[in-house]
């Protein structure tokens, strides 16, 4: 799109974007403070300066955010790109009114306060957490915690997080064994968890996997590749072997 076509389209786009509110965005050519939401569709009209000097036919803009903020010849201050609160939450720009390239009014200063919107989901600081829970861990006493952050404004509800457990395995009779504090992310056992969770010797087998003692030896070798002690003399192996034989 050429710059000329772009400028011609602006009033049309503004009227679509702004509707009736455009009238309320007009005001005198003086120092101005604006609150502008981030993430708006662009071009987004922010404010139209109404100058008193009859010869004004363009404006000049300088200061911060020059790539994102523009001004049209008829004094519309508008966004060329959407603002991003987490990148910059305030801009100060200077505007001068020109008549045939001569400054005839201004400068005036415009402070743009970027208003945060809830456009960031919380992200956990780890993709996977591993924790150990002891037998008889009292219910409600945390044994681990998870932690997430949100890039939105922490001063607003946009960054308020709430933790919850989505699923639990095992989930016999839909009795939750674990619970999470919605505010702190601390995980603890429920009353049922404290009663049901027991530490036992046991091997994890895949579905249909060979569960013979020979298979157990192979698994044992996988876990502990250097075997200096024969299986029969290894108290850990014989203990697990006994437990596995009891289970079969």
Strand partners, 96: 60
Which helix (H) or strand (E) segment is 42 a member of?
none
Shortest CB 156 distance to Ca ion, Å = 9
134/160 with CB nearer Ca ion? 160
> Is the Cβ–Cβ distance between 218 and 154 less than 8 Å?
no
Q: Nearest Cα to 37, choosing from 114, 120, 152, 111?
A: 114
118/168 with CB nearer Ca ion? 118
Residue appearing with tokens 């003086």:
30
Shortest CB 150 distance to Ca ion, Å = 4
Query: Which positions lie near Ca ion, rule CB under 5 A?
Result: 85, 116, 118-120, 150, 152, 158
158/175 with CB nearer Ca ion? 158
Residue number with the smallest Cβ distance to Ca ion? 152
Integer angstrom CA distances of residue 153 from 37, 163, 181, 193: 12, 18, 22, 37
58/86 with CB nearer Ca ion? 86
Q: Nearest Cα to 58, choosing from 100, 86, 8, 90?
A: 100
Shortest CB 114 distance to Ca ion, Å = 9
Shortest CB 154 distance to Ca ion, Å = 10
């Amino acid at each position: 799109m050429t710059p000329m076509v772009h400028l011609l389209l602006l009033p049309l786009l503004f009227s679509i974007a702004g509707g009736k509110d455009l009238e309320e965005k007009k005001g005198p050519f003086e120092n101005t403070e604006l609150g502008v939401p981030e993430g708006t569709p662009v071009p987004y009209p922010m404010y139209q300066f109404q100058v008193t000097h009859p010869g004004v036919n363009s404006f000049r803009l300088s200061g911060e955010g020059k790539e994102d903020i523009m001004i049209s010849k008829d004094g519309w201050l508008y966004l060329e790109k959407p603002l991003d609160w987490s990148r910059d939450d305030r801009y100060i720009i200077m505007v001068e009114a020109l008549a045939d390239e001569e400054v005839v009014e201004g400068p005036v200063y415009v402070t743009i306060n970027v208003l945060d919107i809830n456009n960031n989901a919380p992200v956990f600081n780890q993709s996977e957490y591993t924790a150990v829970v002891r037998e008889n861990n009292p219910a409600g006493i945390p044994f681990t915690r998870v932690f997430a952050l949100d890039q939105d404004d922490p001063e607003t509800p946009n960054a308020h997080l709430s933790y919850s457990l989505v699923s639990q395995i095992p989930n016999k009779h839909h009795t939750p064994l674990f619970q999470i504090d919605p505010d702190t992310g601390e995980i603890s056992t429920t009353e049922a968890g404290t009663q049901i969770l027991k530490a036992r010797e046991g091997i994890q087998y895949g579905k249909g996997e060979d569960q013979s003692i020979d298979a157990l030896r192979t698994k044992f070798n996988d876990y502990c590749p250097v075997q200096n002690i024969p299986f029969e003399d290894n108290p850990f192996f014989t203990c697990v072997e006994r437990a596995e034989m009891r289970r079969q």
